[in-house]
């Protein structure tokens, strides 16, 4: 299915050097902010108290935030879950004046004491404590999950394509991941388990776009034997633009709906996906394809004697059948 078809190939690779220079600068900036600021990890990674509170009517989130902040908590997460009357409150670990860690029971009691005078009928439904050790385990497990996904993508691309495509694809995917993390480090957005899930989803989503372009490049090497590598890649990207617009446009509309209407629970998850999709398109077109070209991918790498001479001539010469 195509919405449109571009008859003349767009010379993407003519501008590959300049566009990849911009990409490199963005990548290095992301690495710098990750090193300088670090990620603002959520309670799931650092440890803390999770409270579920129920109100008889719609919960006043702004009022709850102001009352919790007055208790000395500056790094909290307060949001609806399930319904507008149910509120989830995440409190970071806190020490008392003597330097001892305040227990989860004391934290929840202090919060409820601050909330009850303002609203009658507010009830504490559940309290959970996430210790620092659990947070470290979650962080390690998350990094391992990310590592295994990267290794799986490398193996998949190596079997499906030539190794130059595998290297180009994984560099482009890591480029997307680092830039997403760089945004979260620069703006100090909260990095939670849901954001980690979005990062893993972006890895798979981005590699899918690269595979589509790589497939078309391999097909073009078989069809157009007089084109050079740059022309082959330009034609492959141009011929898949309609598919890219349909696929990514529909996906981005769904993600933007979550970003705008999903509330605080889905906000950073959808934000990570939005950044990842946009940079995934960019990296598949300008990073992965250009790296494959610079690594020296050739027709011989992808076409291993699967065409007879007559087949090659038939592709090159439209009048071949008439002459025969």
Q: What is the mean pLDDT of the chain?
A: 83
pLDDT confidence band for 45 (50 / 70 / 90): confident
308 band by pLDDT with thresholds 50, 70 and 90: very low
- β-strand 40-41 against 190-191: which pairing, if any? parallel
Residues 141 and 122 grouped into a single domain: no
Q: Are residues 77 and 208 part of one domain?
A: no
pLDDT tens-digit map of 25-40: 999 999 999 999 988 8
pLDDT at position 307, please? 47
If asked whether residues 158 and 297 sit together in one domain, one would say: yes
In degrees, to the nearest 5, what angle opens at C-alpha 145 toward C-alphas 252 and 129? 95
Show the tokens assigned to 50: 């999770």
Q: Are residues 250 and 302 in the same domain?
A: yes
Range of the domain at 223: 12-40+134-313
Q: What per-residue confidence (pLDDT) applies to 29?
A: 96
Same domain, 270 and 229: yes
Q: Within this chain, do residues 158 and 120 fall inside the same structural domain, yes or no?
A: no
The CATH number of the domain where 116 resides is what?
Answer: 3.30.70.3400
Decide which of 91, 115, 130 is a domain's last residue: 130
The residue with greater pLDDT, 228 or 134, is 228
Please check the confidence at residue 133 and state whether its pLDDT lies above 80. no
Q: Is residue 4 part of a domain?
A: no
Look at 9-23, 102-116, 117-131, 187-201 and tell me which has the smallest mean pLDDT.
Answer: 117-131
Write down the residue that tokens 């490199």 correspond to.
24
User: How would you write the chain as a 3-class SS string?
Assistant: CCCCCCCCCCCHHHHHHHHHHHHHHHHHHHHHHHHHCCCEECHHHHCEEEEEEECCCCCCHHHHHHHHHHCCCCCCEEEEECEEEEEEEEEECCECCCCCECCHHHHHHHHHHHHCCCCCCCEEEEEEEECHHHHHHHHHHHHHHHHHHHHHHHHHHHHHCCHHHHHHHHHHHHHHHHHHHHHHHHHCCEECHHHHHHHHHHHHHHHHHHHHHHHHHHHHHHHCCCCCHHHHHHHHHHHCHHHHHHHHHHHHHHHHHHHHHCHHHHHHHHHHHHHHHHHHHHHHHHHHHHHHHHCCCCHHHHCCCCCCHHHHHHHHCCCHHHHC
Q: Which of residues 130, 145, 162 is at a domain's end? A: 130
Q: Report if residue 300 sits inside a domain.
A: yes
Q: At residue 264, what are phi and psi to the nearest 5 degrees?
A: -60, -30
Whole-number Cα distances in Å, 316 to 43, 144, 238: 62, 49, 20
Please check whether residues 99 and 114 belong to one and the same domain.
yes
Judged by phi (left if over 0) then psi (alpha if -120 to 50, else beta), residue 296 lies in left
Q: In terms of domains, do 20 and 124 share one?
A: no
Please indicate, yes or no, whether residues 154 and 83 belong to a single structural domain of this protein: no
**Boundary residue ending a domain (101, 130, 159):** 130
In the chain, the number of structural domains is: 2
Torsion-angle region of 152 (φ positive above 0: left; ψ -120 to 50: alpha; else: beta): alpha
Residue-wise pLDDT tens digits, 234-288: 999 998 888 888 888 889 999 999 999 887 778 899 999 999 999 988 888 889 9
Q: Which of 91, 103, 96, 106 is nearest to 52 (CA)?
A: 91
Kindly state whether residues 100 and 154 are assigned to the same domain.
Answer: no
93/26: higher pLDDT: 26
Regarding whether 72 and 204 lie in a shared domain, the answer is: no
CATH number where 296 lies: 1.20.1640.10
Q: Taking residues 58-72, report their average pLDDT.
A: 87
């Amino acid at each position: 299915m195509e919405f449109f078809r571009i008859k003349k190939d767009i010379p993407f690779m003519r501008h590959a050097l300049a566009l990849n220079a911009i990409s490199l600068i963005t990548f290095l900036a992301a690495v710098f902010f990750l090193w300088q600021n670090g990620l603002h990890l959520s309670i799931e990674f650092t440890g803390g108290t999770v409270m579920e509170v129920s109100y008889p009517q719609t919960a006043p989130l702004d009022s709850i935030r102001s009352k919790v902040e007055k208790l000395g908590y500056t790094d909290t997460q307060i949001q609806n879950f399930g319904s507008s009357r149910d509120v989830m409150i995440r409190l970071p670990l806190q020490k008392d004046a003597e330097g001892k860690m305040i227990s989860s029971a004391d934290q929840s009691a202090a919060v409820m004491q601050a909330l009850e005078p303002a609203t009658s009928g507010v009830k504490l439904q559940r309290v959970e404590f996430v210790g620092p050790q659990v947070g470290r385990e979650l962080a390690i497990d998350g990094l391992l999950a990310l590592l295994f996904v990267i290794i799986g993508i490398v193996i998949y691309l190596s079997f499906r394509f030539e190794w130059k495509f595998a290297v180009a694809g994984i560099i482009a995917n890591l480029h997307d991941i680092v830039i997403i993390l760089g945004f979260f480090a620069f703006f100090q957005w909260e990095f939670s388990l849901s954001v980690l899930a979005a990062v893993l989803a972006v890895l798979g989503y981005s590699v899918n776009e690269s595979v589509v372009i790589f497939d078309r490049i391999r097909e073009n090497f078989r069809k157009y034997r007089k084109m050079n590598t740059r022309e082959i890649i330009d034609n492959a990207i141009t011929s898949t633009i309609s598919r890219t617009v349909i696929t990514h446009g529909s996906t981005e509309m769904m993600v933007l709906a979550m970003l705008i209407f999903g509330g605080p629970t889905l906000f950073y998850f959808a934000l990570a996906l939005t950044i990842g999709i946009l940079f995934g398109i960019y990296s598949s077109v300008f990073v992965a394809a250009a790296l494959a070209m610079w690594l020296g991918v050739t027709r011989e790498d992808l076409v291993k004697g699967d065409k007879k001479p007559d087949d090659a001539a038939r592709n090159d010469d439209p009048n071949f059948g008439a002459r025969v």
